A = this chain, B = another copy of it.
Amino acid sequence: MKKIKLYIAASIDGYIARNDGDLDWLMKYPINSETNYGYDDFYKSVDTVIMGGQTYRDILNMDFVWPYKDKTSYVVTRNSMGTKENVHFITENIVEEISKLREEKGQDIWLVGGGQLITMLLNQDMVDEMIITTIPVLLGNGIPLFPDSPKELEWKLQDCRSYENGIVQIVYKKK
- Given A13-B14, A168-B170, residue A137 in contact with residue B152 (CB < 8 A): yes
Nearest B residue to A165 by beta-carbon distance? Answer: B157
**Residue of chain B at shortest CB distance from A123:** B140
The 8 A CB mask of A121-137 against B (1 = contact, 0 = none) is 01000000010101011
Interfacial residues of chain A within 150-175, with CB under 8 A of chain B in the complex:
150-157, 160, 162, 166-168, 170, 172
**CB-based contact A149/B140 at 8 Å:** yes
Whether A95 sits at the interface, judged by CB under 8 Å, is no
Is the CB–CB distance between B136 and A122 below 8 Å? Answer: no
CB within 8 Å for A154 and B137 given contacts A12-B172, A146-B13, A172-B12:
yes
Q: Which residue of B lies closest to A139 (CB)?
A: B152
**In the complex, residue of chain B having the shortest beta-carbon distance to the beta carbon of A158:** B166
Chain A interface size range: 20 to 34
A167 and B156 CA atoms in complex are apart in Å by 9
Assembly CA distance A138 to B170 (angstroms): 14
Does A145 sit within 8 A of B, measured CB to CB? Answer: yes
Interface flags for A64-85 (1: CB within 8 Å of B; 0: not) read 0000000000000000000000
Name the CB-closest residue of B to A160. B162
Say whether A157 contacts B139, CB under 8 Å: no
Chain B residues lying within 8 Å of A25, measured Cβ to Cβ, are: 152
Q: Give 16 pairs: A residue, B residue, CB < 8 Å, sorted on A.
A: A12-B146, A13-B14, A13-B145, A25-B152, A136-B155, A137-B152, A137-B154, A138-B146, A138-B151, A138-B152, A138-B153, A138-B154, A140-B151, A141-B149, A157-B167, A168-B170
